[in-house]
Amino acid sequence: MEYSHKKIEKKWQKYWEENNTYKTTQESDKKAYILDMFPYPSGSGLHVGHPKGYIATDVFARMRKLQGYDVLHPIGYDAFGLPAEQYAIKTGNDPREFTEQNINIFREQLKILGFSYDYNKEVNTSHPGYYKTTQWIFQQLYKQNLAEIRYANVNWCEGLGTVLANEEVVVKNGKMYSDIGDFEVIKKPMKQWVLKITHYADKLLEGLDELDWPNSVKELQKNWIGRSEGVIINFKIKGSSKTLPVFTTRPDTIFGISYLVLAPEHELLKELCSNEFKKDVEEYVQLAKTKTDIQRQDDSKEKTGAFIGSYAINPFNNEEIPLWVADYVLNDYGTGAVMGVAAHDNRDFEFAKKYNLPIKFVIETKDTSKAFIGEGKHINSDFLNGLLKDEAKDLITKKILENNFGQIKVNYKLRDWLFSRQRFYGEPFPVVFLEDGQIALVDEKDLPLELPKTDYIKPSGTGESPLANISEWVNIEFNGKPAKRETNTMPQWAGSCWYYLAYILTTSPNNLIDINSQEAKKLFEKWLPVDLYVGGQEHATLHLLYARFWHKVLYDIGIVTTKEPFQKLINQGMILADNGEKMSKSKGNTINPDEIVESHGADTLRLYEMFMGPIEASFPWAFNGLDGSRKWLDRVYRIFEKFEFSQTNNHNLDFVYNEVVKKVTTMIEECKLNTAVSQLMVFVNAIYKETQPIYIEYIKGFLIMLSTYAPHLAEELWEKIGQKASVCLQQWPSYDETKLVNDNTIIAVQINGKLRATFETKKGTSKEELLTKAKSIEKISESLKNSTVLKEIAVIDKIVSFVTK
């Protein structure tokens, strides 16, 4: 017998909506903020992979609600962005309308899956009511001197007609491509807004330790920030008053220097180059210009360079060191100059080999045919001889400081964040440029600065934003003076940097309490940090880094109340196509959740996606698995047709029920959502073994637990046993620890000291009974038959032993 999911699911969705069942409450002293990475509302809608993370958070949020927490479980849309803009250009539509349509489709798709979202808290980053605050936050960054316009070598993507952040660029075969769309990216100097995320490098690193995040994500962020401690040594130049600062993390190798290298763009290169070598060096510099940073750093490529005809002096032994130029040195890292220690660095080794430069080993090794990177004692190093790396580093650093040869320096790989996009469909910058070149902020009371209505949103092709074409928007009067607006817009990341704060402040969709108010502060105190955040791993060094940066700035200026935004993070795995490939529209192998809801029901889809395996792992879609989940829900449904329920407990199910409640609770708590389902199955199996009426309180407890996975069916059955709705607002079942003692024990049966069998029995079973039970085991009775039993021993709860002849 099957239940009608179509009838049931519609009915309860309507009920929840009418009764505001999932309204965010503020009545408990316990809170749980459970967040999904919000979707980009693309034109193609959801496939079955998308809701996997959403179902997981929903199960968790529902349990927390039932446990009496105030739960914040919202959803919204990361709605600015290129695809909508490109679609609008292609079809001549307004990206805003297109986005609105897509959001409506997404919302419907989510609603039929029965999520416990509080839709009243919905946000859309492209709504002026929302981006008003995005602009306000930008202004705070500006006021904190964390935003400025710089003439910078940026990542220009012709295909997208915009600049991209380093985090948005992928490197393949030494070339750069856009993360979205896979278009080629080149370096190009342009005037840009940058956000000085580098000022927060240390804070971003420090905070990581306290977070309950996957190690892989923490590592990705650590490496992206790339902190390294070293020193800058100022080398004197022979016959010149100039010094050349060189950053190194290995000052202890100073007696092994073979040469110093400058980057081709180094500001001192021309000056330090002797006349004789000018031509060679200039040619080399031209050649280097044709390569990207990535090609220059590619370890598989042969190193190239040129001698520049002058020498530096090693401050510790006064040796002359030749100066070279080479493009494997990057100008914007460290000081743009490197000490070449050929014996102990692979790149330097290759370089020295190629140009016949000396290779001086200063750390002990037997194999001198290649660079030695490992740990060992210092040799040929004067006062450092015999010391290991760390000791030697400490000593040499001390001497460098004492003698004023240089200073301590910490370097980061992290670069400031390029924050301008030459696009239409993003947040306008809330600034104006006055005629004298000054920048002024748009008055707070004039925010939001809205995007103008226009039909003309194509990129200009010159690298200027489409907004530059709308002269009545650009040219304004500001406090009585002529001024121009910024025509670039913010990147899509801006809106997603703080959306988790927006939900807290939202009183109705896109209607927010002032972020800079006492009321906001109280709410932040209540809800921050996010307790569980579930989303894809691809955001490790993008959204998750950017959002942490903004959060820390907002913390420092007293807006938010915690140092970190997201306490626990889980990266959900993917749902693959049935052949193991990634699901994608272009491959035509996607499965639409709407169809599954139609054929099997939302509860089945929810249960199946959770039962597939650990949430972090990826699995191929399997229709037989889906059928299996549906069959189990039907089996649950039939309990209510077949069995009678009783107000009195016959204690048959005491052990299994209490154990299942305990396990389901801790498993959901630990986000082991697949094994929690197995436990619910264990309980259903136990019911089916019963011949007497089932204790109604256990049925209720079961339905409450079931409602986290299959809320529609659980509501229906809850109603069927005569309860008042809603099952989603009941109290999570508790378990009785005293019922959890399993009062059975295992008895070993030995014959002449050898283990022959085991059996289970109630604890405390008498000696006589133990002997009888042991003898009734076929294997034992067979053995005893043909021998004389000399002795029978029984130890209660432990063992039965026979000695025979």
Nearer to ligand ANZ, 344 or 378 (CB): 344
- Least distance in angstroms from the C-beta of 412 to ligand ANZ: 9
Q: Which residues are annotated as a binding site for ATP?
A: 585
Query: What gap in Å lies between CA 609 and CA 48, rounded to an integer?
Result: 9
For residue 188, the SS3 value is: strand
DSSP designation for 481: E
Q: Is 132 in the site for ligand ANZ (CB under 6 A)?
A: no
The number of helices, as runs of H, and strands, as runs of E, in the chain is 26, 31
Query: What gap in Å lies between CA 712 and CA 719, rounded to an integer?
Result: 11
- 51, 114, 161, 336: residue in contact with ligand ANZ (rule CB under 6 A): 336
- Least distance in angstroms from the C-beta of 673 to ligand ANZ: 41
- Least distance in angstroms from the C-beta of 361 to ligand ANZ: 11
Tell the burial category of 403 from Cβ atoms under 10 Å away from its Cβ (0-12, 13-18, 19+): exposed
Q: Are 677 and 607 in contact (CB under 8 A)?
A: yes
- 137, 338, 577, 774: residue in contact with ligand ANZ (rule CB under 6 A): 338
- Least distance in angstroms from the C-beta of 668 to ligand ANZ: 43
- Least distance in angstroms from the C-beta of 90 to ligand ANZ: 43
Query: What gap in Å lies between CA 620 and CA 576, rounded to an integer?
Result: 4
Within 251-280, the residues that bind ligand ANZ by CB under 6 A are 253
* Number of amino acids touching ligand ANZ (CB under 6 A): 17
Q: Is 306 in the site for ligand ANZ (CB under 6 A)?
A: no
Segment near ligand ANZ (CB under 6 A); pick from 63-71, 319-327, 335-343, 558-566? 335-343
Tell the burial category of 531 from Cβ atoms under 10 Å away from its Cβ (0-12, 13-18, 19+): buried
- 41, 45, 315, 334: residue in contact with ligand ANZ (rule CB under 6 A): 334
- Least distance in angstroms from the C-beta of 211 to ligand ANZ: 24
Q: Is 341 in the site for ligand ANZ (CB under 6 A)?
A: yes
Segment near ligand ANZ (CB under 6 A); pick from 154-162, 179-187, 243-251, 349-357? 243-251
Query: What gap in Å lies between CA 404 and CA 197, rounded to an integer?
Result: 31
Q: Is 406 in the site for ligand ANZ (CB under 6 A)?
A: no
- Least distance in angstroms from the C-beta of 544 to ligand ANZ: 23
Nearer to ligand ANZ, 121 or 344 (CB): 344
Query: What gap in Å lies between CA 36 and CA 58, rounded to an integer?
Result: 9
- Least distance in angstroms from the C-beta of 338 to ligand ANZ: 4
Query: What gap in Å lies between CA 269 and CA 282, rounded to an integer?
Result: 10
- Residue among 29, 26, 28, 21 at smallest CA distance from 62: 21
Residue 633 structure tokens: 């829900």
Segment near ligand ANZ (CB under 6 A); pick from 241-249, 596-604, 657-665, 762-770? 241-249
> In this structure, are strands 569-571 and 532-535 parallel, antiparallel, or unpaired?
parallel
Between 208 and 237, how does the x/- string for binding to ligand ANZ read (CB under 6 A)?
Answer: --------------------x---------
Between 615 and 654, how does the x/- string for binding to ligand ANZ read (CB under 6 A)?
Answer: ----------------------------------------
> In this structure, are strands 243-248 and 259-262 parallel, antiparallel, or unpaired?
unpaired
Query: What gap in Å lies between CA 64 and CA 69, rounded to an integer?
Result: 6
Order of strands, edge to edge, in the sheet holding 481-485?
A: 439-441, 431-434, 481-485, 475-478
- Least distance in angstroms from the C-beta of 576 to ligand ANZ: 37
Where are the extended beta strands (E) located within 158-242? 162-164, 169-172, 175-178, 184-195, 228-237
Within 135-154, the residues that bind ligand ANZ by CB under 6 A are none
- Residue among 17, 20, 52 at smallest CA distance from 36: 52
Close Cβ partners of 652 (under 8 Å, ≥ 6 residues apart) = 690, 692
Q: Is 247 in the site for ligand ANZ (CB under 6 A)?
A: yes
Within 312-331, the residues that bind ligand ANZ by CB under 6 A are 329-330
Q: Which residues are annotated as a binding site?
A: 585
Judged by the rule CB under 6 A, the positions of this chain that interact with ligand ANZ are 228, 247-250, 253, 329-330, 333-334, 336, 338-339, 341, 344-345, 411
